[in-house]
Amino acid sequence: MQLKIHTLFQPIQANGRVPSNQYIEITPSPKLAPYVSCYWLSEPVTENQEPDSSSETLKALREGSVDRVLPDGCSDIIFEHDLKANKYRTLFSGIFDEPFTITYVQNHPVRKFGVRFFPGGNHSLLGIPQQDFAKSHFDIDLVWAGKLKRLKIGFSKSRCSKKKCRSWKNFWFLSCAPKL
């Protein structure tokens, strides 16, 4: 049943709820579709994409916006780029059984690229029980020490989401294909 879940269940987060950030989902390759729900990108809206700067909505956005993530049984690996400090971090987000919030702060922009796994899909990559990481976000090196170093460096050099998807796919098959 695990390999068929992708044909029955498509967890999708809503887009456009927070005008200060754009959210995009990208379909994985057919070979990864049984394990990966989608790749996703969340990044701040650029100055030329913003509405009239005198609007009340934009003033509120500059102070900070909140978005809610609903539980869907999926887990994620999230590559974050803090644009203000020019720092990178990579997180593993376990499954949640309650909604949680994400705060967007306009004067502290963060670009994120994520890989959303179907329930159990991350087990073939990480090889650890999913329940050990439920309801939390962990630094990926605490979960899977050193394995993503080259991938993280490649992600930090590219803004192109298609290149990131291709890098992830190549990484997956090079490091995980024998286990599948």
pLDDT, tens only, 4-40 = 555 556 666 655 566 777 888 888 888 888 888 898 8
Q: What are phi and psi of 144, to 5 degrees?
A: -145, 75
Owning domain of residue 168: 2-179
Contact 28, 6 (CB under 8 A): no
Contact 41, 161 (CB under 8 A): yes
Query: pTM of the entire structure?
Result: 0.72
Residue 5 in tokens = 């879940």
Please, where are the H alpha helices in 64-177?
123-126, 140-143, 149-157, 161-176
The tally of domains found in the chain comes to 1
Residue 8 in tokens = 């029955």
pLDDT, tens only, 82-139 = 888 988 888 888 888 887 777 777 778 888 888 898 888 887 766 767 777 788 888 8
Q: What residue has token string 């919030």?
A: 101
Contact 113, 161 (CB under 8 A): yes
